[in-house]
């Protein structure tokens, strides 16, 4: 059993090279790895809910006591390092006030066909089209996890959800939510429709408001970029759905739109689950 934690006193220590100059390497990628920052995200990475494999942990000395349970459960083949705050800041390349970093290995994206296997009547997919803003990407994953979406499906124009900021904004939901890379948007939509999934294209031009929509089976919430939105040719293949605005506004932030849509589509399902969970054993509903 390895000694824990391993002290690091030199910022140039090659054992922590994966944590060095984080901001610059955010731009160049890490060959299948990602950086998890902060206690909340690292706890998700270390949990049984995570779909990603922990590879290393780097903690400021002052944060060790508060993370003792995480360190105790950390995989034996993933080293745990500890450093003073000044050394940690030099390793990261900027003042790391949270004092906690981890390296993780990305989960392999699931093929769309795998994500659709066993799809139930109450299942919802979140489909992101051309989302390039990492804050919005993180928000979409957070919403998907909060409302129990089956998976998040990305077209080939989306940004990387494993970018450090996207993971942080998602509060770790990127690490625990099934991810599908669906390829070109038009092809992706056709494959969903062929599988019997109703695709709801959210657009300000829609005549049907979300409040009037009632689902009749599995659905996909299709969300496009702010500004250009979804291509008209794609909207024409889907059911256009809108969220009426007041005060001259025509749309919400894409992550906010996703949250409103998922709440509407999953409220009865989630309420039913909570009701069954709260019901005493053996009690049946009248």
Report, at the CATH architecture level, how domain 112-276 is classified.
3-Layer(aba) Sandwich (3.40)
**pTM, full prediction:** 0.89
Give pLDDT, residue 275: 47
> Tokens 């759905």, residue?
241
Question: Which of 26-30, 208-212, 263-267 shows the lowest per-residue confidence on average (mean pLDDT)?
Answer: 26-30
Question: What average pLDDT does range 39-59 have in this prediction?
Answer: 97
Q: Is the pLDDT of residue 286 over 60?
A: no
Q: Residues 245-273: pLDDT tens digits?
A: 888 787 789 999 999 999 999 986 654 45
Summarize pLDDT for 61-114 with one digit per residue, the tens.
999 999 999 999 999 999 999 999 999 999 999 999 889 999 999 998 889 999
The full set of domain ranges for the chain reads: 6-105, 112-276
Average pLDDT score, the chain: 90
* pLDDT of res. 139: 98
Residue 125, pLDDT > 50, answer: yes
| Per-residue pLDDT, 29 | 63
d(CA 279, CA 282): 8
Q: Shortest CA distance to 119 belongs to which of 83, 92, 151?
A: 151
6-105: CATH topology = 60s Ribosomal Protein L30; Chain: A; (3.30.1330)
Contact 181, 156 (CB under 8 A): yes
Over range 117-146, report the average pLDDT. Answer: 96
């Amino acid at each position: 059993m390895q000694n824990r934690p391993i002290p690091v006193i030199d910022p140039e220590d090659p054992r922590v090279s994966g944590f060095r100059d984080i901001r610059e390497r955010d731009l160049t990628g890490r060959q299948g790895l990602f950086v998890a920052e902060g206690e909340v995200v690292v706890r998700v990475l270390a949990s049984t809910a995570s779909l990603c494999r922990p590879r290393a942990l780097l903690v400021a000395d002052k944060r060790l006591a508060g993370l003792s349970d995480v360190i105790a459960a950390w995989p034996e083949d993933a080293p745990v390092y500890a450093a003073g705050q000044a050394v940690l800041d030099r390793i990261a390349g900027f003042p790391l006030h949270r004092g906690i970093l981890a390296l993780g290995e990305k989960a392999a994206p699931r093929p769309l066909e795998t994500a659709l296997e066993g799809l139930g009547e109450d299942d919802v997919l979140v489909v992101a089209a051309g989302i390039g803003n990492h804050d919005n990407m993180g928000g979409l994953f957070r919403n998907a996890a909060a409302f129990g979406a089956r998976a998040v499906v990305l077209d080939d124009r989306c940004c990387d959800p494993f970018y450090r900021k996207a993971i942080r904004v998602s509060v770790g939901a990127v690490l625990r939510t099934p991810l599908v890379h669906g390829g070109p948007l038009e092809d992706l939509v056709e494959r969903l429709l062929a599988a019997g999934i109703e695709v709801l294209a959210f657009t300000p031009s829609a005549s049907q408001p979300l409040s009037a929509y009632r689902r009749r089976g599995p659905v996909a919430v299709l969300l496009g970029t702010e500004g250009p939105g979804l291509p008209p040719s794609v909207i024409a293949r889907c059911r256009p759905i809108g969220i009426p605005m007041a005060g001259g506004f025509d749309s919400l932030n894409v992550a906010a739109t996703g949250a409103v849509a998922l709440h509407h589509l999953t409220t009865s399902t989630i309420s039913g689950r909570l009701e069954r969970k709260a019901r005493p054993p053996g009690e049946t509903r009248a």
